[in-house]
Structure 1
Amino acid sequence: MKNHNSDPQDGFAGLKENFIQDASSGFIVFLLALPLSLGIAKASEFPPIMGLITAIVGGMVVSMFAGSRLTIKGPAAGLIVVVAGAVNEFGGGDTGWHLALGAMVVAGLLQILFGVFKLGKLMDFFPLSAIHGMLASIGLIIIGKQIPVLLDVNPALTKGKEPLQLFASIPEFIANLDPKATLIGGISLVIMLSWPFIKHNKLKIIPAPLVVLLLAIPAELILNFQTSQPKQALVQIGNLFDSIQINASFDGFAQTGTFIKFVIMFALVGSLESLLTVKAMDMLDPFKRKSNANQDLIATGIGNTLVAFLGGLPMISEVARSSANIANGAKTRWANFFHGFFILIFVLLASDLIEFIPNTALAAMLITVGIKLTHPKEFINTFEKGIEQLLILLVTILFTLSVDLLVGIGAGILTEILVNLFNGKPISALFKAPTEVSFTNDAYLVEISDAAVFTNFLGIKRKLEAIPANFQVTIDLSKTNLVDHSVMENLEHFKHDYERQGGKVHIIGLDSHQPVSNHKAAAHKKVK
């Protein structure tokens, strides 16, 4: 069993103990976060400096009471779709921005309540393939929105176009591209896509976005963008102190349906993405510390409420920056603090440099994020888990692209329910699976009946989490007619977490079940 006495200390003792590692990792993450925060804000129809305000608050404030130690809090590309959608539906421009902020304030308060009422576990209610479909949809929408920015076309050509219309308009965008700006954007995209394949150890340490800026800014100066290019070619951020004021407006209450829709989407999508990142980073943490998901939701909700009043973007635990933080040797929450601190110092002392950044370079960074979210390997991995999982993913994508994100998630959930009914799940087991826990001979036996599926897993999980640590646990699935993919994967997560604490878990009773594919996490249905 792991000796937790070797864990890094928290609080000011942790700052003193790990100052060098956390400050150096925070600095590297700052180099990654600065351009991405600007690009995400701009793509979200927010003033670019608002992305930096979110990163500063997420780092310097939220890090102090977050439930996760190594995640980086800041604006996320995954929320671009929701934020930009809110701005546009509330009227666009400054008016849309102010009204969207009002919905964000309420969503932040709702996120705090999610944590207070310990609803972090609700993540397990959503089928994993629908979540992957949501993320892939977001990736496609980011790519569609950023291609015209990469080509530096007149914004009038994209105005009012939905995601599918943007993809259909790519030939028109190419015909109207700006050669100078596109050249910088194209080279930036090549760097972003090829950098992960660099083998040189010292070069790999340098974040790809920093390499892009080191090339794009001198190129822009040589090509004289300041006088030869239209205004949209360069980032415009303004003054930090002029920007910080109460920017949220609650006049959007008058548009009741729209207001409620975006409150739900901000709270739901932001919480889901944040919780998924926290879960993933716990598995990467070299000290195997387990985050408090509910405390993290409360901290993120407080941060979101604050930045929404000020005019900033919603924040989450962001996966790329958090992964970089761990990879660069961060030990405690102070790395997140330092990343926000360095952004603040840069904005105060060198904000003029930001206005030399070409928007095509930022677009290249965001397109790379989009490609990662919707990479073909995601579709292949989902197909390997079963053709029905690919169907759920594709339905989620189709409805998200053609309607919106909330409808897409709902369609994915409904498809999974229908698939489970088709595979033999009793209707009586829709939200409840009979689960008996017994204790004999210093070992626990958990017997699950009827069906173990995503809609009833919360009840199963509650009983599993009530089992004390350091015992032998057997989970018997022989009385089930169906165990779906989400439950198979979640049981493996439980096994991993429980055994990490010193116990042992055996999953039995699937001998009379037929897996729907060869993947270890495939759904299993009982052979009649």
Structure 2
Amino acid sequence: MSTPSLSTTPPLTGLAGLKQNWRSDLLSGFLVFLIALPLCLGIAMASGFPPMGGIITAIVGGVLVSRLNGSFVTINGPAAGLIVVVLGAVQSLGQGDAMAGYRYTLAAIVVASVFQTLMGLFKAGRLSAFFPSSVVHGMLAAIGIIIMAKQIHVMLGVKPEAKELIDTILAIPHSVVDLNPEIACIGFAGLALLIAWSLIKNRVLKMIPAPLVVVAVGILLERYFDLDHEHVYMFLPDQEFLPHHEFSIGPKFLVSIPDDFLAGFYFPDFGKIATVEFWSAVLSICLVGSVESLLSAAAVDKLDPYKRCSDLNRDLAAVGMGNVVCGLLGGLPMIAEIVRSSANVNNGAQTGWANFFHGLFLLIFVALFPHFIHEIPLASLAALLVYTGFRLASPKEFAKTMAIGWEQLTLFVVTIAGVLATDLLIGVAMGIAAKFALHLLRGVSLTNLFKLFYHVEQKDADHYVIKIEGAAVFSNFMALKSAAAELPQGKTVVFDLSDVYLIDHTVMEFIDHYCHDYNSRGGQCAIHGLHNHEPFSSHPLAARRRLDRKPAAA
């Protein structure tokens, strides 16, 4: 479906926007619903939640949050990036009791979401800039590795005894040897379809969501293998020297949701609110959820053909309010989800009503057709998550980071190793600490590390110059970001970097994106003063240092 040209007047919002664009938003909402249904189920179960937990979140994100948020074409719902955080909370708080851990985690989601709402109300959306991009990508890659490590076993129909992450990874060869052939057939078929669909160029076929195809084929294979009824079958290999295997099959390999929609709601248990584990879960959910949501919302803005800018603070507050409701009803935390949002844009969505319709379709479907969901094999959902995990941690991500510079690859790998060896918060902290150490080794003073020296000069009514001095790095440029955001549109803005002796990739990326966005809205923005700087790699946004000036001069 074609997207509108950049010259087109942005569509109306609110009820006027619904009246103007209901056809395109309704169609896009339906297509996104088809993508969201299997993903919500898979993400919920991978997070240690009942399947309905993911559906509840998408319904709240669509029906409620779409009416409160500050974005235009964003889809809100559960995301793979939070699987590790939520599953870790369920396991640490439940201590072996999955249902108790689930209800304690709901309480942690409620508390974390209150803080998330306050962050939005107090305009803390800009804090996402504090996290270096390589550390954020390293965090997401580590999450991808963890998702793959856990879901490969589900895809093969095997439940390993391993408890720790490293043991789960090491158990993969054993699970491959002991795979359940019929379940593995469903899982590998789903994975093959996802890979094939990514290579298809036909526009008509591409309009059919790949997750829907995976689920449809999975259901057909489920009927063929008769997973609805528990039974045992023998696998008899042709070779006489291979042992015969006996495998069980049955409903335990299918999604299980209550027939009564209201029976899917659970309520939080605040019994562990005074424990360290509870507050660690609160901090993880709030931090990771907020950063992911803000980064995704900003990324979706770049896909919007009308070049509209989301109010990220309002968006964060709305997501926080929605997450409070999710925690009270038994749902996962939500974020602004990038994959479904991209599909929303490609499907021709015009306003936030597409998000609303996607949630409404989910509500109607699970209320009226719960038996259909019960026919979906877990292996099909696991295949979706394995594919998602691979995309987060693919070799391309390592190559893209390496292209920016060796120091970015170092931060990327340190963060991945830290997350895999410890947990998400400690791993991210290790990545940030490595970034600080790198800047100190390059001569950045402790004062300059947290304070950027700059001033905005208005040359005339239509000309602004932002003069920056010293070091411009990820930990000190938030004030610059706020000052640049306050400049009027349609003017001439120049970033003068001639007196900067060190500028890192995060700040280069911010200034480059700011210039592109400002120019796309009719203004003129440029970067001056980099002719005496040496980049640390050939990447256009690599970190740079000035050759003819020593750090002490700052």
Into which bin does the TM-score normalised by the smaller protein fall? over 0.9
Check conservation: 2:132, 2:506, Cα contact below 8 A: yes
Distance 1:323 1:438 in 2: 38
User: What is the match of residue 168 of structure 1?
Assistant: 170
User: What is the match of residue 216 of structure 1?
Assistant: 218
Distance 2:259 2:22 in 1: 31
Aligned with 1:430: secondary structure? helix
User: What is the match of residue 60 of structure 1?
Assistant: 63
- What is the one-letter code of the residue matched to 1:122? L
CA distance change for structure 1 residues 113 and 400 in 2, over 3 Å: closer, same or farther?
same
Mean Cα deviation higher: 387-396 or 6-15: 6-15
User: What is the match of residue 455 of structure 1?
Assistant: 475
User: What is the match of residue 254 of structure 2?
Assistant: 234
Check conservation: 1:70, 1:335, Cα contact below 8 A: yes
Aligned with 1:329: secondary structure? coil
Shift of 1:468: 1.9
Q: Quick check: 1:85 aligned with 2:88?
A: yes
Mean Cα deviation higher: 10-19 or 127-136: 10-19
- What is the one-letter code of the residue matched to 1:373? L
- What is the one-letter code of the residue matched to 1:370? G
User: Structure 1 length as normaliser, TM-score?
Assistant: 0.97
Distance 1:345 1:72 in 2: 18
Q: Quick check: 1:17 aligned with 2:37?
A: no
Shift of 1:31: 0.5
User: What is the match of residue 314 of structure 1?
Assistant: 333
Select 1:465's aligned residue among 478, 485, 499: 485
Q: Quick check: 1:106 aligned with 2:126?
A: no
- What is the one-letter code of the residue matched to 1:290? C
User: What is the match of residue 42 of structure 1?
Assistant: 45
Check conservation: 2:162, 2:168, Cα contact below 8 A: no
User: What is the match of residue 33 of structure 1?
Assistant: 36
- What is the one-letter code of the residue matched to 1:63? S
Q: Quick check: 1:522 aligned with 2:527?
A: no
Shift of 1:3: 8.9
User: What is the match of residue 187 of structure 1?
Assistant: 189
Select 1:397's aligned residue among 410, 413, 416: 416
Check conservation: 1:426, 1:450, Cα contact below 8 A: no
Instruction: Please report the RMSD computed on the Cα atoms of aligned residues, expressed in angstroms.
Output: 1.4
Shift of 1:324: 0.3
User: What is the match of residue 150 of structure 1?
Assistant: 155
User: What is the match of residue 200 of structure 2?
Assistant: 198
Shift of 1:57: 0.8
Check conservation: 1:423, 1:525, Cα contact below 8 A: no
Runs ≥4 residues deviating over 6 A: 2-5
Aligned with 1:481: secondary structure? strand
User: Structure 2 length as normaliser, TM-score?
Assistant: 0.92
Distance 2:486 2:358 in 1: 37
Check conservation: 1:425, 1:481, Cα contact below 8 A: no
Check conservation: 1:148, 1:158, Cα contact below 8 A: no
User: What is the match of residue 499 of structure 2?
Assistant: 479
User: What is the match of residue 6 of structure 1?
Assistant: 9
Distance 1:470 1:140 in 2: 44
Aligned with 2:497: secondary structure? strand
Mean Cα deviation higher: 234-243 or 97-106: 234-243
Distance 2:26 2:265 in 1: 30
Mean Cα deviation higher: 230-239 or 414-423: 230-239
Q: Quick check: 1:123 aligned with 2:128?
A: yes
Shift of 1:497: 2.0
- What is the one-letter code of the residue matched to 2:476? N
Per residue, is there more helix in 1 or in 2? 1
Aligned with 1:476: secondary structure? strand
Aligned with 2:369: secondary structure? helix
Q: Summarize the alignment of residues 495-510 of structure 1 with structure 2, pairs less than 5 Å apart.
A: 495-510=515-530
Aligned with 2:281: secondary structure? helix
Q: Percent identity?
A: 46
Check conservation: 1:69, 1:333, Cα contact below 8 A: yes
Q: Deviations over 1:281-312 (max 9, x none)?
A: 11110111110000100110010000101110
> Structure 1 stretches of 5 or more lacking a match?
none
Check conservation: 1:103, 1:252, Cα contact below 8 A: no
